[in-house]
Structure 1
Amino acid sequence: MVTEDLRDRGIDDERVLAAMAEVPREEFVTHRDRDGAYEDHPLPIAEGQTISQPYIVALTLQAARLRPDHVVLDIGTGSGYAAAVASRVVSRVVSIERHAALARRAASVLRSLGYDNVTVVIGDGTQGVGDAAPFDAILSAAASGSIPESWFEQLAPGGRIVAPVGHGWGQRLHSVKLRKDGTRVVTDLGGVAFVPLVSDDPLPPRG
């Protein structure tokens, strides 16, 4: 996986590659999918969600320009796999998941594997986790029409958000750097397909 699906496709951050090699992806998928855990495509998990393909996880982490002292916010815990990989690259990961059952299972798996620098929070990912801010990077595993402003409010100056933007087949993975003067620099990393970002807050009434 690391050589053919990652390094040969342009992933050259050695710390990310080492983390991808270390984390046992088979521990984060269903029993029926364990034999295909290292194939480069998403796999279904509970609650209609998916575990992202390895290349996209690695691309997201590389684009975030992570350092060992960074604190990361992971939007959409899912199986916990992306949080586990990120935890091998940074100091601390805070991961938020709106599905309580998924969050509890991910927290249990992460704990059993010894990833004790990951905190899993049950909540609305569109709101971020303000109590743990600021974050050096915010990484999302769910797509929306635009990146929530609450995430930028919780991002440290000089930090990056890497998130899918758009709907359906029109999604693009964006890396957005927040400069210290408050301006934002967007890099388009290519087309992707993620589950939609869902908010628990009802839409305001029209009119």
Structure 2
Amino acid sequence: MSDFASLRMTMVDTQIRPSDVTRFPIIDAMLHVPRENYVPPSKRDAAYIGANLDLGSGRALLDPRTFAKMIETLDILPSDLVLDIGAGYGYSTALLARLAQTVVALEEDEAMAEEAGRILAADGVDNAVVVKGSLTAGAAKYAPYDAILVGGGIEELPEAIASQLKEGGRIVAVVMTGALGTVKYGLKTDGRIDWRYAFNASAPVLPGFAKEKTFTL
């Protein structure tokens, strides 16, 4: 039987701190949110490995280093309303909820969304709402958002999501080009998102976020 508290400490000491994640609220959240609760029972023992963990339905639990650096890049404020796209079973939502005022967890897989709601409630997360709906449509009901986390790879960002980010809002995503990816940070200014490079990473492209393939003769 795994000692998950020790595994969390090891994760932080060997994967998070060496990656220059220095903000105490993020480190504290990663030490306390039980990552193993947010994966299928058969994968609990693999919850703390330093790699993306396949959750099924095109979802992956991002590796701890990538996820922590994305959160630090996003610079969450205690007053923020955050949209968590592709929330899976809710780990990212639980962690974001420790940093932000409110988190909207968007998940289109019905079983995952229901389970995420159950786990978050069981873990006492009371400042998050799970929305079951299309990932590419966003969650307009609660928009505009101060910050958006895309919890997987994208090749392009749908306009519906860009429009839900408030002026001055921030977004972070793993932008994939073939097998290679980079995390990019976007800031919305004058109605458009200006992107900049943050660091290298890779993640499976979320359903609906791949560029439409074109063929020429």
Unaligned ranges ≥5, structure 2: 1-10, 213-217
TM-fit CA distance, 1:145:
1.9
Which residue does 2:81 correspond to in 1?
Answer: 71
TM-fit CA distance, 1:128:
0.8
TM-fit CA distance, 1:139:
0.5
Query: What RMSD over aligned residues (CA atoms) do the two structures have, in Å?
Result: 1.8
Which residue does 2:179 correspond to in 1?
Answer: 169
Q: 1:195 aligns with which of 186, 204, 210?
A: 204
Contact 1:73/1:94 (<8 A) preserved: yes
Which residue does 2:166 correspond to in 1?
Answer: 156
Contact 2:88/2:113 (<8 A) preserved: yes
TM-fit CA distance, 1:33:
2.6
> Structure 1 pair 64/36, CA: closer, same or farther in 2 (3 Å)?
same
Q: 2:141 aligns with which of 109, 127, 131?
A: 131
Deviations 1:128-187 (A, max 9, x none): 1111001010100132222222222111111111012234412221110112x3353322
Deviations 1:48-102 (A, max 9, x none): 4221111121111111111001010000011211111101100110011111111
Structure number with higher strand proportion: 2
Aligned partner of 2:101: which letter?
S
State how many pairs are aligned: 200
> Structure 1 pair 95/169, CA: closer, same or farther in 2 (3 Å)?
same
Aligned partner of 2:195: which letter?
V
Contact 1:167/1:196 (<8 A) preserved: no
Contact 2:86/2:108 (<8 A) preserved: yes
Are residue 51 (structure 1) and residue 61 (structure 2) matched?
yes
Distance in 2 between the 1:97 and 1:168 partners? 24
Q: 1:116 aligns with which of 112, 126, 138?
A: 126
Which stretch of structure 1 is more off in the superposition, 28-37 or 155-164?
A: 28-37
Contact 2:83/2:104 (<8 A) preserved: yes
Per the normalisation by structure 2, the TM-score is: 0.85
> Structure 1 pair 162/30, CA: closer, same or farther in 2 (3 Å)?
same
Q: 1:185 aligns with which of 194, 198, 206?
A: 194
Distance in 2 between the 1:35 and 1:167 partners? 31
Q: Secondary structure at the match of 2:203?
A: coil
Contact 1:147/1:165 (<8 A) preserved: no
Distance in 2 between the 1:65 and 1:48 partners? 27
Aligned partner of 1:57: which letter?
F
Unaligned ranges ≥5, structure 1: none
Per the normalisation by structure 1, the TM-score is: 0.89
Deviations 1:114-138 (A, max 9, x none): 1111111111111111110010101
Contact 2:176/2:203 (<8 A) preserved: no
Distance in 1 between the 2:109 and 2:205 partners? 14
Aligned partner of 1:194: which letter?
A
Q: 2:105 aligns with which of 81, 92, 95?
A: 95
Q: Secondary structure at the match of 1:55?
A: helix
